[in-house]
Amino acid sequence: MIKDWIFSDERRICHFRVAGLLVRNNHLLVQKDKSNSYAIPGGHVFFGENSENALIREFKEEIGIDVQICRLIWVEENFWKWGKKDAHNISFYYLVRQKDEAALSDTFVSQSKDNNDVTIQWISFDNLKKIEIYPEYIKQKITNISNNIEHFIRGLE
Q: What's the pLDDT score for residue 103?
A: 63
- The CATH number of the domain holding residue 34 is 3.90.79.10
Q: What does the pLDDT read at residue 38?
A: 94
Q: pLDDT tens digit string along 6-53? A: 888 889 989 999 999 999 999 999 999 888 889 999 999 999 999 999
- What pLDDT, on the 0 to 100 scale, is given for residue 112? 52
CA–CA separation, 55 vs 110, rounded Å? Answer: 15
Strand duo 150-154 + 67-82: pairing = parallel
66 within domain boundaries: yes
Q: What percent of the chain has pLDDT over 70?
A: 89
Q: Which residues of 118-148 are buried (b: 16+ CB within 10 A; e: fewer)?
A: bbbbbbeeeebeeeebbbeebeebbeebeee
Question: Residue 114 above 80 pLDDT?
Answer: no
Would residue 135 count as lying in a domain? Answer: yes
Boundaries of domain holding 14: 6-152
Q: What is the DSSP letter of 27?
A: E
Residues 23, 70: Cα–Cα separation, whole Å: 12
157 domain-assigned: no
pLDDT reported for residue 5: 81
Number of domains in the chain: 1
Model confidence pLDDT, tens digit, residues 50-108: 999 999 999 999 888 999 999 999 999 999 888 899 999 999 999 999 998 766 766 56
- Answer whether residue 1 is part of any domain: no
**What is the pTM (predicted TM-score) of this model?**
0.89
Q: In this structure, is residue 86 part of a structural domain?
A: yes
